[in-house]
Structure 1
């Protein structure tokens, strides 16, 4: 499987985890590899010496003139580097292929691949699928945009396993021949438009997941979204949909308070909706999607139901932290857009004291007004987008305040909350104005809650 990289000259742009993993993999395959990053070499950590020992050249501190040249055979880019970046533009002008490490790794993976993408719910669904397949003794390996890069596991996973991959639009844009056995699109909402430019470009990046599927492959689609249903018209794969709102002729759906599945003419009642351990309509959709994927991979229905009844969530995704004086604290730091925040806020029946705000990507959050009005009793706003979110609170008739730090936000939220309320960190924004990642933001929130 894969391409012969012997003697090929490859430039890896971006010295993050996936870049280093791709560099190691390509070097093992015989390529002449250069890793380049804007960061100085001193910030690369302990990987520098190990990579240099393998014969990989590392260039830090910027992109020197001539780093992209006609002699290059391939550029492997970090998913987050925009295509407008000078080295990428130069490579494309020279007609040098530009891919992400997903393309390199997937061609070497002997196991069937499950690819999961969507604006929201990717990590929860991917984790659920991994646990369902594990319960069914199908030996999954979970990787991609969660945990390990595909290049880290490419040569280890075996043909009798399943490779379950969470995939972002950034990763998928850099694929050409990538072909999973099962491809799932959970939803599409306006997100990452600062990177993609338009919703159409963002949609098309998600659709790349289905570009190479054949008739013996499976497309798992959210049948409640037209923009997702449209994939059925562009793929040769068999369609196996899921729906929280419709009774389907084939697929996974809700009827009379139960999750049902119809596959190959066989009807199954998997479990009562009330038994799903995850809270919220959005998580019900994640469970339906995971069940559809797991069934397609051959998991036994009772194992799917067992996991759905016991799995209580992923860190930083509506994660219960602690109860203090009758107030429950939840960490939903992964809610980096308005739609994700709406779903989390709406999953609580009691009054919510909301901590929100972060990187200002230009949105004004109008969709949050009715959710604030119905569920939020007080807003504690921080970060670049704080004033915009306070305006949303004003429109909803909700009190609000602005703070300078997450520690202060937790203290102020605790003062505003009363027994029976929920304090929820669900920022509706990316973290990069104040934190290195949403994980760091969530961890700092939990630390602040535990000091109350």
Structure 2
């Protein structure tokens, strides 16, 4: 970054916004942060402490539109008025990951996909840490990437990246990128066009060259379709649960196998993560490990010792022979599909919340096969009740977590599972999916020593 006279404006004063502002300041750039809402007190104190100029409760348009480079937090909608004006003036508009990547020579491993991002990002980070590499974890998870570039000196970054962050990249070029899977999500931000959303995900690989790697899911139809249409220069390495490759990750005789340079394999039953989706995630992570020349022994140990991400198929407790699982992070139908698919026991399913245009036909057969009773938890449960009422006899409607868990406990017998996997956003009754998951855990463990 040669030009020290650049005027930087950061929109949004949360984790990624503060991180970007701190990095700009540390690089000696002129920086101003603007948040249309209120900035949380802890970030405000950090801005003051670091002498970063900011405003809240408004966007001073004249000041923002005088910027050379605007860094936008992923939570600000693309159609927001200020964004339209920035684009009209042709001011460079970037996400925090794009901005931060301009100031580091570290190798970046970037992970995207509709489901499994957090788990796979955390798993790859675990593999690299176990191999004693000097590595940071960031993006959509953990500490802001830009803040780490400003304050740390890592050789590697493992980043979870969303389509919203990828919308605003120009030169972002990871050493290894992973696209785990695609299913319709956040379509309200992409003109209700699935392909437009999928293409945003593929931006993770568009700047990669033939000395970089793109790990992709050969079983994913939309990924296959777009790979044929896009002219990606990167070296592509597939994984699949259905077919085998000379170079890639696959399943053979109850083992996960990666053939890349040499061969790695381990028994599926030794993986710490359960369910087919997690076998796929483990394959993708193992390929990344092999590319980085991490030893088979290290990869194997990491896959055996990894602890699942909180709120993602998290085992809460077994009480009187009933298993309680918190999958509050499943905010779309596809995520719940994976959860139900991995259930081995009769399941009481807690579902509901703010519907994002859900189509429940995708999980209809799984619900028929695996679910013993449905407990709806939301302000308005009618859509779920209407869809499943002819398919399941036992459907209950609740609007409090306490009530939902109480009913689930009364229905469950020794050998059953109670699964919170809501398919929906949490904002009707909870602050966020973490709050929903924490309340579930609290109610499950109440009166249990």
**What interval of TM-score do these two structures reach, taking the shorter chain for normalisation?**
over 0.9
Contact 2:321 2:415 in 1 (8 A): yes
What CA distance in whole angstroms lies between the structure 1 residues aligned with 2:391 and 2:35? 45
Of 156, 177, 187, which residue of structure 2 is paired with 1:183?
A: 177
The correspondence of residues 7-46 of structure 1 with structure 2, limited to 5 A, is: 7-40=5-38, 43-46=39-42
What CA distance in whole angstroms lies between the structure 1 residues aligned with 2:300 and 2:87? 48
What CA distance in whole angstroms lies between the structure 2 residues aligned with 1:56 and 1:162? 28
1:163-200 CA-to-partner distances (Å, cap 9, x unmatched) read 11111111111111000000110000001112222111
**In the TM superposition, what is the alpha-carbon distance from 1:57 to its structure 2 partner?**
2.4
Contact 2:346 2:370 in 1 (8 A): yes
What CA distance in whole angstroms lies between the structure 2 residues aligned with 1:117 and 1:4? 30
**1:60 corresponds to which residue?**
56
Of 249, 253, 259, which residue of structure 2 is paired with 1:256?
A: 253
Instruction: Give me the TM-score of the superposition, normalised by structure 1.
Output: 0.94
Contact 2:258 2:283 in 1 (8 A): no
**In the TM superposition, what is the alpha-carbon distance from 1:139 to its structure 2 partner?**
2.8
Contact 1:123 1:146 in 2 (8 A): yes
Of 323, 326, 330, which residue of structure 1 is paired with 2:325?
A: 330
Structure 2: gaps (5+ residues): none
Contact 1:360 1:384 in 2 (8 A): no
The correspondence of residues 19-418 of structure 1 with structure 2, limited to 5 A, is: 19-40=17-38, 43-66=39-62, 68-69=64-65, 71-158=66-153, 161-197=155-191, 198-229=193-224, 230-231=226-227, 233-264=230-261, 266=262, 268-384=263-379, 386-418=381-413
What CA distance in whole angstroms lies between the structure 1 residues aligned with 2:152 and 2:223? 30
Contact 1:184 1:219 in 2 (8 A): yes
**Which secondary structure state, in structure 2, belongs to the residue aligned with residue 286 of structure 1?**
helix
**In the TM superposition, what is the alpha-carbon distance from 1:44 to its structure 2 partner?**
2.2
**In the TM superposition, what is the alpha-carbon distance from 1:435 to its structure 2 partner?**
2.2
Deviates more, 1:220-229 or 1:170-179: 220-229
What CA distance in whole angstroms lies between the structure 1 residues aligned with 2:151 and 2:61? 37
Instruction: Give me the TM-score of the superposition, normalised by structure 2.
Output: 0.94
**Which secondary structure state, in structure 2, belongs to the residue aligned with residue 305 of structure 1?**
helix
Output the aligned Cα RMSD.
1.8
**In the TM superposition, what is the alpha-carbon distance from 1:432 to its structure 2 partner?**
2.3
1:209-241 CA-to-partner distances (Å, cap 9, x unmatched) read 001101110111111113223437531111111
What CA distance in whole angstroms lies between the structure 2 residues aligned with 1:106 and 1:269? 31
Task: Rate the CA distance shift 1:427–1:5 in 2: closer, same or farther, 3 A.
Answer: farther
What CA distance in whole angstroms lies between the structure 1 residues aligned with 2:434 and 2:3? 35
Structure 1 runs of 4+ off > 6 angstroms? none
What CA distance in whole angstroms lies between the structure 2 residues aligned with 1:66 and 1:348? 55
Task: Rate the CA distance shift 1:49–1:255 in 2: closer, same or farther, 3 A.
Answer: closer
**In the TM superposition, what is the alpha-carbon distance from 1:275 to its structure 2 partner?**
1.6
What CA distance in whole angstroms lies between the structure 2 residues aligned with 1:435 and 1:63? 29
1:319-340 CA-to-partner distances (Å, cap 9, x unmatched) read 0001122111010011111011
Task: Rate the CA distance shift 1:58–1:158 in 2: closer, same or farther, 3 A.
Answer: closer
What CA distance in whole angstroms lies between the structure 2 residues aligned with 1:263 and 1:403? 51
